[in-house]
Structure 1
């Protein structure tokens, strides 16, 4: 039975009463109809014409419900990124929101909601395929039912538009209230999309042509920005969890898995075209935040204050997390790269304590050298009686071992993991005529790497592990002789380094807002001073974005992924995005800017020869003193000026904000100003008036 695949071409007929979606290449397929303004979904046999506007789209992302209206989110432009085993992969470039209602009034919150989601879709790297499951590794794909619809095969963690596709999926599964059964006719309209990084490159190693692919899939669970999403949640989801799959395909005829124009699927008489079997070899790694309850509270200082709740309270959540990891990947080698000194030490100790609580009879081993008292710290279970005994903790003091631009010493970690890497293997499959993969080898474990952010240090180590696995694969397949490595081919090594550096930048940009640090080492194999200057620039940009721009980005993630659902009741009364800080607190940055402007203008503006100078100097000195006071006030009460998320404001952020406001209100001079100009009742009255107006409409 052939798989039900999403439509490649969809026409939209828009009218005042409905939106009708149909595929011109499948005239016998039912038409998907979304009624306006109710949002009811139905299938219509045959075409439903008569729309006022007809347009062509690349696919349907889903239906998102905001405060005033529902919107159908459609892909209007997609960019081809290359073929993967003959399947074309696309990146989402442009989207459009089709409202179900013709709004006669403007609601500021609704416009803000729309802006947040549109900004996420504009900047988020999202990929899809009409015929290939991007959300699953090749090893998982080998175990799935290829006759199932593409969306049903998708890995729930990486099905990024799963929430906004829920209306379509619920209709597909049937509505008991309306006595509707399953509606398989809607399957071709559900298109799973992956968020992450994708590179497909046709290249060669030592004269042997191959396809090199790197895919990083970002989990939709606990997704967010750097300082507003840390650690683990009660469901066992960790922040910034990414699965990276490095794949090499040999003898890729670019039609495998799809029928050619002759309809032979790339095979003739059960044998591959060209006489050589298509070999698929992949290696999978993961990264994710340290699975304890911890956070960093922004205070406008470069290093936020670190908070860690009791490790024992997070044992259940960590167990849920590792239960899933072991079920999906087998044994987990937990490589921890955080510092053993300073502020990161507490995170290191919390992680080690968590592992000791999870495994049976933990045994520890510490190796030191001249650089650090803990070059390696190993925690192994004393038995294999329980599922958690498949966790193997390896700490490596990355910063101390590589300081002084001696980055080659990161190879020490590979030497420590050598036996585990040899035992875990990699996935290898051979293409079959029916599109399946005949499994030759399986990867039996995974290396789960983390640092504080799971970005910069993590990507350096993951690229080294990827190079190790790649050399092993090519030796096993006879592409390179034993005793040699893939990096001996200079042209391929240049490609490999740059692809992994691009991966670092993509993962970092979606989490921290800038490209990754240390990518000069990933790209060139050396730590350079130019790279250090670039890191300085990225660090400064991160500071600004993480303090003043990440709140709206976090709100965009929460809206799109369903972590926050707008409440349609009480329209106009919430004012969620209004600045409710006291007027005095809001005014301080503007006073600071005005004083600095006057000071610089006075210093660099020419004066008339007969002008009286001393009044100007007195006023300039007064402005300078006011500017210093304003700067000190903002620095002392920094949490009042962080751009916090407005939709799901973290409890620790609310506490930090309230503590800062309480300190200001107790000040004998500033307290009366804060209390006098605090907002509250006036906004509430305006809200009720606006709500009444909207109800009348």
Structure 2
């Protein structure tokens, strides 16, 4: 789990908070008390130190006699995500380019085992991405130093201009259930059951960011349509009243769909839903068609502004002269909040970056940063690296189509890499993500170990019938025998028919085993053992019932006492337990 994504810390700079939030924070407080709880990744494993610092009792029963401020330096917030600082230049003007993505520690996990929203209002794969440029940072000892530039005086003020975006799963109760198929089964509970959870989520978003522009990029046809409809229904539930507007073209019957509240009568009228049919509009790598979404968001983006703060290098108190504040945020999602989301976020980042540089007079009106080939190369690669990091921590592989993101061209090598990533995702998501999800749950505190040693050991015991467990091994053994028999030379006087008979028999057994696994795929998914999802519990039980009806293995499975409820108890024990 720790290797799934990089982590970062700083002794002087609060990495958990955006520059805008830092500007209003109390710098006299220690870092851990200023940290944003959502991105304080090591918060749970620091609880003993936090309790000791407060003069309480830690998990070992040790009590501090009074508050212990000397512990503060040891409670060091760590973020999980991506951070890239680059010294570059635009049109000959030196500047620092920063991209930082903070991954939420709430409802964290892997691609198919963490979807939608929970009862506390936390959504899966929530990330805050902040793009910033730093001007005049010539002092190497400065907190924001990105490298000194010759000819600049250290007495100059440092200008930091930052723009924040977010991404997160569709805030309803939904899941994708692995069954060894390439496309999992989609389950969505009634939207009305998730209204209270969605309210908690968006209350926090509005409090932190202001108005929220919810950009939805899922498909309007096929299996994803149900997710689109659920999101739109949730938006209508939350707003006091809604007006809707849709547009179509030759490529799509619904290019853009907007749901707005005509006036702000209550808090959730500050939610603005914007749907864009990304796949249809950009089919054939026509990424320029995404400009249609940018045109739709043009006015909100201009009103949104960005953070602009001026820091004096001679003032070590950390006071900030705030020139402008970002007033709203764009919250982007697709199904995974990965590949499509990455494209749109980098597009919005480019739009705002050009606006920043024009406001600073680095660019003239009408000019764009992409006209500078060197900076464009930096910009593309930093955003592509960000896409890979976010994708790897959630899906287990880098993002798709990053060759186009990096170079602007689709290559054969990039297509092969995408094929490799897709295959790797399938293998990881079905056969390897269970233990990784357990790792997330232990590290984040979503699972609290029981003191009962017997219950703890039972969690990791494979309670499937031995016959069910043996099917993959029989399959591999038969395939291995067929392969060896095919490449092994026989002696001239040896009899051929026994070997051929065994090959045919092994091929038939392998085919039967493969078909059995494919038919009852739920039994062979590597599920999380600690916080086992309810749908997994039900799916395994249903699959075992179906397995007993198999004409060949069914009677053997049925007589193996596998229907005992006690053998399924370990799945229930894995549910989240709180102190």
Answer whether TM exceeds 0.5 for this pair.
yes
State the partner residue of 1:354: 234
State the partner residue of 2:127: 242
Deviation at 1:489, TM superposition (A): 0.4
Task: Deviation per CA, 1:314-343: give whole Å up to 9, x if none.
Answer: 010011100000000000000000000111
Is the 1:133–1:154 Cα contact (8 Å) retained in structure 2? yes
SS of residue matched to 1:211: strand
Is the 2:139–2:154 Cα contact (8 Å) retained in structure 1? no
The TM-score with structure 2 as length reference comes to: 0.92
Of residues 403-412 and 486-495 in structure 1, the stretch that sits farther from structure 2 once superposed is 403-412
State the partner residue of 2:68: 183
State the partner residue of 1:619: 502
CA distance in 1, matches of 2:188, 2:30: 43
State the partner residue of 2:39: 158
User: Which is bigger in relative contact order (C-alpha 8 A, separation at least 6)?
Assistant: 2
* 2:487 paired residue among 601, 604, 616: 604
* 1:300 paired residue among 177, 180, 185: 180
Is the 2:4–2:392 Cα contact (8 Å) retained in structure 1? no
SS of residue matched to 2:179: coil
* 2:138 paired residue among 229, 243, 253: 253
State the partner residue of 1:370: 250
Q: Is 1:421 aligned with 2:301?
A: yes
Is the 1:463–1:522 Cα contact (8 Å) retained in structure 2? no
CA distance in 1, matches of 2:154, 2:31: 29
State the partner residue of 2:5: 124
Of residues 580-589 and 429-438 in structure 1, the stretch that sits farther from structure 2 once superposed is 429-438
CA distance in 2, matches of 1:672, 1:480: 76
State the partner residue of 1:216: 101
Q: Is 1:582 aligned with 2:465?
A: yes
Of residues 188-197 and 517-526 in structure 1, the stretch that sits farther from structure 2 once superposed is 517-526
State the partner residue of 1:141: 22
* 2:170 paired residue among 278, 290, 309: 290
Q: Is 1:338 aligned with 2:218?
A: yes
Task: Deviation per CA, 1:453-498: give whole Å up to 9, x if none.
Answer: 0000000110010011111001100111111011110000000000
State the partner residue of 1:637: 520
Is the 2:5–2:392 Cα contact (8 Å) retained in structure 1? no
Deviation at 1:596, TM superposition (A): 1.0
The TM-score with structure 1 as length reference comes to: 0.77
State the partner residue of 1:411: 291
Q: Is 1:172 aligned with 2:57?
A: no
Q: Which runs of 5+ in 1 are unaligned?
A: 1-119, 261-265, 267-271, 685-697
State the partner residue of 1:451: 334
Of residues 137-146 and 605-614 in structure 1, the stretch that sits farther from structure 2 once superposed is 605-614
State the partner residue of 1:227: 112
Task: Deviation per CA, 1:215-272: give whole Å up to 9, x if none.
Answer: 0000000000000000000000000000000010000124465599xxxxx9xxxxx9
Of residues 166-175 and 413-422 in structure 1, the stretch that sits farther from structure 2 once superposed is 166-175
- The root-mean-square deviation of aligned C-alpha atoms, in Å, is 2.1
Is the 2:137–2:144 Cα contact (8 Å) retained in structure 1? no
SS of residue matched to 1:467: helix
Alignment of 1:69-88 (within 5 A): none
Task: Deviation per CA, 1:102-160: give whole Å up to 9, x if none.
Answer: xxxxxxxxxxxxxxxxxx22443110001110000000000100000011000000000
Q: Which runs of 5+ in 2 are unaligned?
A: 568-579
Q: Is 1:556 aligned with 2:439?
A: yes
User: Larger strand proportion, structure 1 or 2?
Assistant: 1
Is the 1:664–1:674 Cα contact (8 Å) retained in structure 2? yes
SS of residue matched to 1:349: helix
Is the 1:251–1:278 Cα contact (8 Å) retained in structure 2? yes
State the partner residue of 2:575: none
Q: Is 1:569 aligned with 2:449?
A: no
CA distance in 2, matches of 1:462, 1:477: 22
State the partner residue of 1:661: 544
State the partner residue of 1:323: 203
Task: Deviation per CA, 1:395-445: give whole Å up to 9, x if none.
Answer: 000000011221221121111111111110100000031222211000000
Of residues 570-579 and 182-191 in structure 1, the stretch that sits farther from structure 2 once superposed is 570-579
CA distance in 1, matches of 2:143, 2:403: 39
User: Larger helix proportion, structure 1 or 2?
Assistant: 2
State the partner residue of 2:88: 203
CA distance in 2, matches of 1:592, 1:678: 24
* 1:532 paired residue among 415, 422, 425: 415
Deviation at 1:670, TM superposition (A): 2.2
CA distance in 2, matches of 1:460, 1:243: 15
